[in-house]
Structure 1
């Protein structure tokens, strides 16, 4: 008689003592079956459980946390024994929902697929989510109050609530998350893993490789943010590089050039001229039915452009949106930006902890300021391209991660790298830098795409070829996807 999923997990637990004794750990990770937050298509078998590990590995006898994961089994009777493990980006995003579509992906053809929830995210216990920061920002918009000071007040409230629950905020960082993935590999007795990361988790997967190299067969990194990049020192430049890519394409296209002229110059002249100017718009708050008179400035207009750059279907509309703004028709866009604010909870406690310990702790203020000398229309805009910044981290008070985690390293492990040419966050140059340190990596540049193009349908065939033969040359026959 076939054993149930719970029985299978119970058998796995019996092997843990021997496995972790060999690893000379001072704690014993455990696996505990749990209900599935999501299930794959009924054609595939789905198993769900928690990985239970110390919240802080420096205190192995202390509090434990529960991290859910979902194993989706391939139906291939000749499947390989090296599953793909995926975890999401952010930091702060959930990782589990991808199992709902895995039956349509090449990931499941020849090997099992594991979706692993990072510590502190939505389905983990504890979950460091909260709406304190989002509510503070809404209050600022409703009453036209200074946004920075209101956000800092929200940060303080979120921190107070989480610490009152005895949550160790210093334990939510990339080093601990990398150790979680290694513990899961050992607990499931997997000899070799293919790691799949997107955005922030691209850097996380590189950290797993750096800290625990023996169990890694390959990496798939989609728009990765390497740990050795201090994104705050580059985000303004990254945003403008993405815009410049669109401006240049428009200039090279005769129809676009005729319709929009020298769009780059027009954009810069207009936005430089908005310094100190404020507009107002009547905004209907749907939840309350109240009509609010909300002030906005070039800050919110820049936010509209950033959000549009992330929307694959709207990238082509950016020349028209900028032209409409220049012509003074920007109320509709301001309302859309405010809509997004009123339906967003703001950064979670997990995002705050990771971002402040990994990124902001190593960012240099003089480098951050230098960006604004090159792009003066961004200076004083009052809009942060990243939703976690210095004054917030000053309140969050978590120590920096170990310096060696921020250092680049060399590896011969094969890597598939994807990037979009209009990505305003993780530019294609990051893949070039990774390639320098990882010579067995291959790069795909998706034209007219933004953040995370590899995880979409266009990238699926390349992922299949790579997993089947990680050292084989990746070739693209599509003019808008460049393999190099």
Structure 2
């Protein structure tokens, strides 16, 4: 893994820089093809470097380089935005049943505490955005000397890869989006309502299925009791 320097907020003069981790897996194929696959995980903030070998195995013929980029703020970049305050809020919420509002309020307090601590440490959170991640993708392509490459995003990183394609159209050969997350979707804000709606639909489907099964069992019992029924009776 290597680290590249980039301004924390590219549009703010004099802003500090962070080191962004990336890995390059060079294809050893005799027919190595131009245009590597570049990947960053979703999350936001999920790790990516550990998937380098797996991604290289996914490519048919293993004839393209694979470049994996860690999102700023995740584990390997410097600084890493660790938030144990949020983790404590999640653990407290899991410790016992309680009203949803109380559970989420504890997590929100942890997030606010983390934000305040990072601000005291001099971290400018304006630099941790989808646009900044996208700009890093374009900067890294130029730094590594690839004329074009193929963008691969999953879940949240489908947003950053689309933004990277828009920011660097001449350097993009193709874009692959897995579990696409449209920009207008508020995944976190809508998560609870979506989960509730899904459970209601599944519960309704489950009740209908149980009703059908019960009717089937009742029909079999009736057939078993009728003369000439096909049901098998015990001999005891």
Question: Normalising to structure 2: TM-score of the pair?
Answer: 0.77
Counterpart for residue 61 of structure 1: 14
State whether structure 2 residue 180 is matched by structure 1 residue 227. no
Cα distance change, pair 111–148 in 1 and its aligned pair in 2 (3 A): closer
The correspondence for 2:62, drawn from 100, 109, 112, is: 109
Residue 199 of structure 1 pairs with residue 155 of structure 2: yes
> Pick from 130, 136, 139: which aligns with 1:174?
130
**2:68 alignment partner, SS class:** strand
> Contact 2:56–2:66 (CA<8 Å) still a contact in 1?
no
Change (3 A) 1:260 1:170: farther
DSSP 3-state at the match of 1:65: strand
Name the SS of the counterpart of 2:150 in structure 1: strand
Change (3 A) 1:135 1:207: same
- 1:258 corresponds to: 213
Counterpart mapping for 1:340-419 below 5 A: none
Residue of structure 1 equivalent to 2:73: 120
Q: Match of 1:225, SS? A: coil
Query: Aligned equivalents of 1:71 and 1:177: distance in 2?
Result: 18
CA RMSD in angstroms, aligned pairs only: 3.1
CA displacement 1:357-402 (0-9 Å, x = unmatched): xxxxxxxxxxxxxxxxxxxxxxxxxxxxxxxxxxxxxxxxxxxxxx
Give secondary structure in 1 for the equivalent of 2:183.
coil
Looking at structure 1, the residues matched to 56 and 11 of structure 2 have their Cα atoms a distance apart, in angstroms, of 39
Contact 2:26 2:66 in 1 (8 A): yes
- Hey, what's the Cα distance between the residues in 1 that align with 2:199 and 2:96? 33
- Listed as ranges, the gaps of 5+ residues in structure 2 are 217-236
Distance in 1 between residues matched to 2:73 and 2:97, nearest whole Å = 32
Shift of 1:129: 1.8
Worse-superposed segment, 141-150 or 217-226: 141-150
Structure 1's unaligned 5+ residue stretches are 1-47, 262-484
Residue range with higher mean Cα deviation, 137-146 or 64-73: 137-146
Q: How far apart are residue 233 of structure 1 and its match?
A: 6.5
1:61-460 equivalent positions in 2, closer than 5 A: 61-106=14-59, 109-139=62-92, 142=95, 146-231=102-187, 234-235=190-191, 236-237=193-194, 240-241=197-198, 244=201, 257-258=212-213
Change (3 A) 1:77 1:143: closer
Structure 1 residues 242, 250: CA separation in 2 closer, same or farther (over 3 Å shift)?
Answer: same
Q: Determine the C-alpha separation between the residues in 1 that align with 2:17 and 2:11.
A: 12
After superposition, give the CA deviation of every residue in 1:312-347 in whole Å (9 maximum; x if it has no partner): xxxxxxxxxxxxxxxxxxxxxxxxxxxxxxxxxxxx
Give the superposition deviation at 1:105: 1.8
The alpha-carbon deviation at position 68 of structure 1 amounts to 0.8
The alignment of Structure 1 onto Structure 2 pairs a total of residues equal to 212
- Distance in 1 (alpha carbons) for counterparts of 2:194 and 2:133: 29
